[in-house]
């Protein structure tokens, strides 16, 4: 049986754009086709005049701001009922709309790769784990990226300020080689104050290709550069695209001294359900360490929210709020004992809902993304690229077939009742390849498979298979696998097909290959 994505064509009448959309995904994919797939089958026909032709009498494509914190738990924001005040993040939710079921990958690099490409990163070997600083691996250069696509729609200025995490060992993986026109940031987790790589001790703070000694708290620098970019390009004829992947509240747990008293009252989180499967068996931290970590975590989220507030204020100051699409979501669930993923099971590093179902919101007044609307249709990280293609009228991005769907009509409320028929997949093997996790959600059912790689003979029989009726049990409390063996068998076959998409040249599990690695001097990108 081959892995298939199910879809339906539908007509989307946008507020300013009339788009006839037929969202087509790859159907039958074999292992031999993975490295050289055919050109994209996505077809979006824009029947209106081009929005960015230079005439103010024609519809204008929106400025696009994507804000993505790192390791933010589902309930680490105010609009989800958490105990950390996030008034600026909440503004996006209350003035725009929230996603009831927004899914990211279980860890950092896969989410970023899927966001950039609109494809499940398992197809190009980047769904298993994360790209460490020592890794001679990066986002496949044959993949077409979001900034490259937006360049086709007239977005002349395309910036990233923050954590790239998709390779920097060679110049070919650098953001400026992947469609961005400006980069100020780093590849992996660095010290929030010294900007040194936390594992290698080398400074890793870049302005484009240049290593720079810039003072400031990391979160503040992200916001400052984003504000400067907005102020510079707000009044130009062409719209802009800015991607702000904050590092907070990812480790290292470091907060500004002035923020720590704000959250001195926080207590340690309760032991999360399914934490053992989120950490590959690591011991849970002691209660005292968890309490202190939670207080630092809260202070880091406070700084994150303040930085987002400065970005939103820049949009207001330049009077471009109505014409700017702001998208906010976390790259995965919160880390065990630090991020609050309640009420869901699991945490970062697992395919349970707590690892992949994240807080997300969007605001775009001109696109009818206003008024605190709630979007109940499941949306994935891989949907954002085709959605932006739908909004900007791009009919052929020139790359490989997309797995994500154009959700612009649903987000804008034009056809909110039309839910696409498709399965949702997730995969992680970052810490232990013998305890891989694969999940598939088919309508009202979700299967979680934990064990050795499914392509191995007998792996399916040795794996733990957990079935949830996700429609009535979104918190994943009750395993009903024994009651529905036929559903388990059907979804297991789908999970095995999905897992088989991983090519031989995939990224290895985290830390594999780090022994004996010597960083190049100042990370000078000398090697192409």
Separate counts of helices (H) and strands (E) for the chain: 10, 20
Q: CA–CA separation, 169 vs 44, rounded Å?
A: 36
pLDDT beyond 50 at 37: no
- Does a structural domain hold residue 413? no
CATH number, position 275 = 3.40.720.10
Claim to verify: residue 439 and residue 345 sit in the same structural domain: no
Claim to verify: residue 112 and residue 247 sit in the same structural domain: yes
Higher local confidence (pLDDT), 498 or 435: 498
Provide mean pLDDT across the span 198-204: 75
- Does a structural domain hold residue 434? yes
Q: CA–CA separation, 342 vs 249, rounded Å?
A: 17
Two tokens, residue 449: 């498979």
Q: CA–CA separation, 351 vs 357, rounded Å?
A: 9
Two tokens, residue 13: 């009448």
Supply angle C-alpha 113, 116, 122, rounded to 5: 35
Per-residue pLDDT band at 18 (split at 50, 70, 90): very low
β-bridge mates for residue 380, sequence order: 103
Quickly count: other Cβ atoms within 10 Å of residue 431's Cβ. Answer: 17
Provide mean pLDDT across the span 265-276: 87
Question: What's phi and psi for 328, nearest 5 deg?
Answer: -125, 130
Structural domain harbouring 437: 425-499
User: What DSSP assignment string belongs to 107-156?
Assistant: SHHHHHHHHHHSS-GGGGT-SSS---TT-S--S-TTSPPHHHHHHHTT--
- Does a structural domain hold residue 179? yes
Per-residue pLDDT band at 46 (split at 50, 70, 90): very low
76-79 contacts, C-beta under 8 A, 24 or more apart: 76/249, 76/297, 76/301, 76/334, 76/339, 76/340, 76/359, 77/301, 77/359, 79/359, 79/361
pLDDT beyond 80 at 19: no
Per-residue pLDDT band at 36 (split at 50, 70, 90): very low
Please tell me the predicted confidence (pLDDT) of residue 416.
56
Question: What's phi and psi for 241, nearest 5 deg?
Answer: -130, 125
Claim to verify: residue 321 and residue 439 sit in the same structural domain: no
Per-residue pLDDT band at 78 (split at 50, 70, 90): very high
Provide mean pLDDT across the span 245-259: 96
Give the Å distances, CA to CA, from 247 to 31, 169, 227, 252: 35, 20, 17, 10
71-85, 133-147, 379-393, 437-451: lowest mean pLDDT where?
133-147
Reference 140, options 108, 113, 104, 161; nearest CA is: 113
Element (H, E) at 462: helix 459-462
- Distance in angstroms between the alpha carbons of the first and the last residue of the chain: 40
Q: CA–CA separation, 165 vs 126, rounded Å?
A: 11
Claim to verify: residue 151 and residue 297 sit in the same structural domain: yes
Q: CA–CA separation, 372 vs 361, rounded Å?
A: 9
Claim to verify: residue 253 and residue 355 sit in the same structural domain: yes
Reference 496, options 445, 458, 443; nearest CA is: 458
Claim to verify: residue 435 and residue 366 sit in the same structural domain: no
15-29, 163-177, 362-376, 415-429: lowest mean pLDDT where?
15-29
Element (H, E) at 10: strand 10-13
Specify which of 330-344, 414-428, 501-515 reaches the highest per-range mean pLDDT: 330-344
Average pLDDT along the chain: 85
Per-residue pLDDT band at 22 (split at 50, 70, 90): very low
B/e letters for 284-307, b = 16+ CB within 10 Å, e = fewer, are eeeeeebeebbbbbbbbbbbbbbb
Looking at the structure of the chain, the number of domains it has is 2
In terms of phi and psi (left: phi > 0; alpha: psi -120 to 50; beta: otherwise), the region of 277 is: alpha
β pairing state of 182-186 and 10-13: unpaired
Claim to verify: residue 429 and residue 325 sit in the same structural domain: no
Provide mean pLDDT across the span 407-419: 78
Task: With beta carbons less than 8 A apart as the criterion, state whether 153 and 52 touch.
Answer: yes
Task: With beta carbons less than 8 A apart as the criterion, state whether 465 and 445 touch.
Answer: no
- Does a structural domain hold residue 161? yes
Claim to verify: residue 294 and residue 149 sit in the same structural domain: yes
Q: CA–CA separation, 366 vs 384, rounded Å?
A: 18
Task: With beta carbons less than 8 A apart as the criterion, state whether 80 and 361 touch.
Answer: no
Per-residue pLDDT band at 73 (split at 50, 70, 90): very high
Per-residue pLDDT band at 44 (split at 50, 70, 90): very low
Claim to verify: residue 246 and residue 368 sit in the same structural domain: yes
- Does a structural domain hold residue 41? no
pLDDT beyond 80 at 57: no
Please tell me the predicted confidence (pLDDT) of residue 523.
57
Rg (the chain; Cα; Å): 22
Provide mean pLDDT across the span 405-426: 84
- Does a structural domain hold residue 518? no
Claim to verify: residue 311 and residue 455 sit in the same structural domain: no
The 3-state secondary structure of 66-107, one letter per residue: EECCCCCCCCCCHHHCCCCCCHHHHHHHHHCEEECCEECCCC
Per-residue pLDDT band at 329 (split at 50, 70, 90): very high
Task: With beta carbons less than 8 A apart as the criterion, state whether 431 and 280 touch.
Answer: yes
Give the Å distances, CA to CA, from 179 to 140, 209, 527: 13, 14, 19
Query: What sign has the CA pseudo-torsion 160, 162, 166, 168?
Result: positive
CATH number, position 462 = 3.30.1120.10
pLDDT > 70 fraction of the chain, expressed in percent and rounded: 84
Claim to verify: residue 178 and residue 281 sit in the same structural domain: yes
Claim to verify: residue 364 and residue 437 sit in the same structural domain: no
Please tell me the predicted confidence (pLDDT) of residue 131.
87
Q: CA–CA separation, 446 vs 433, rounded Å?
A: 22
97-111, 202-216, 347-361, 405-419: lowest mean pLDDT where?
405-419
């Amino acid at each position: 049986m081959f892995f298939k994505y199910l879809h339906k064509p539908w007509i989307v009448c946008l507020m300013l754009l009339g788009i006839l959309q037929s969202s087509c995904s790859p159907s039958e994919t074999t292992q031999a086709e993975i490295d050289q797939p055919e050109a994209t089958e996505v077809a979006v026909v824009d029947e209106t005049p081009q929005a960015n032709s230079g005439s103010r009498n024609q519809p204008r494509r929106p400025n696009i701001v994507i804000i993505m914190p790192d390791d933010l738990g589902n309930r680490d924001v105010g609009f989800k009922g958490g105990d950390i005040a996030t008034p600026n993040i909440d503004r996006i939710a209350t003035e725009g709309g929230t996603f009831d079921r927004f899914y990211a990958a279980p860890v950092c690099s896969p989410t970023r790769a899927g966001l950039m490409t609109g494809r499940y990163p398992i197809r190009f070997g980047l769904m298993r784990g994360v790209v460490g600083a020592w890794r001679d691996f990066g986002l496949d250069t044959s993949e077409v990226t979001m900034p490259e696509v937006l360049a086709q729609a007239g977005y002349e200025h395309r910036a990233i300020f923050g954590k790239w995490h998709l390779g920097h060992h060679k110049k070919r993986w650098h953001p400026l080689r992947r469609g961005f026109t400006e980069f100020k940031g780093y590849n992996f987790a660095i010290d929030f104050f010294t900007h040194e790589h936390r594992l290698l001790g080398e400074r890793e703070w870049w302005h484009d290709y240049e290593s720079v000694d810039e003072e400031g708290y990391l979160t503040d620098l992200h916001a400052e550069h984003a504000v400067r970019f907005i102020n510079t390009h707000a009044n130009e004829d062409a719209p802009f695209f800015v991607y702000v992947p904050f590092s907070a509240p990812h480790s290292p747990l470091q907060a500004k001294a002035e923020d720590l008293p704000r959250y001195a009252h926080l207590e340690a989180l309760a032991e999360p359900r399914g934490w053992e499967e989120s950490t590959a068996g690591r011991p849970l931290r002691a209660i005292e360490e968890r309490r202190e970590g939670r207080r630092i975590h809260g202070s880091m989220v406070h700084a994150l929210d303040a930085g987002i507030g400065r970005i939103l204020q820049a949009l207001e100051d330049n009077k471009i709020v109505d014409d700017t699409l702001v998208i906010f979501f976390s790259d995965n669930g919160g880390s065990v004992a630090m991020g609050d993923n309640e009420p869901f099971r699991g945490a970062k590093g697992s395919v349970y809902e707590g690892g992949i179902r994240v807080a997300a919101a969007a605001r775009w007044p001109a696109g009818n993304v206003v008024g605190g609307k709630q979007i109940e249709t499941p949306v994935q990280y891989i949907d954002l690229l085709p959605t932006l293609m739908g909004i900007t009228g791009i009919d052929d991005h020139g790359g490989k077939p997309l797995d994500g769907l154009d959700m612009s009509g649903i987000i804008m409320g034009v056809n909110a009742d039309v839910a696409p028929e498709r399965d949702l997949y997730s995969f992680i093997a970052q810490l232990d390849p013998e305890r891989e996790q694969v999940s598939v959600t088919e309508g009202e059912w979700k299967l979680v498979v934990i064990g050795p790689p499914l392509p191995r003979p007998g792996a399916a029989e040795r794996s733990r298979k957990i079935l949830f009726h996700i429609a009535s049990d979104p918190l994943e409390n009750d395993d009903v696998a024994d009651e529905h063996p036929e559903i388990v068998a059907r979804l297991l076959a789908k999970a095995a097909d999905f897992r088989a998409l991983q090519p031989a040249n995939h990224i290895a599990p985290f830390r594999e290959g780090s022994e004996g690695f010597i960083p190049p001097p100042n990370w000078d990108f000398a090697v192409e």
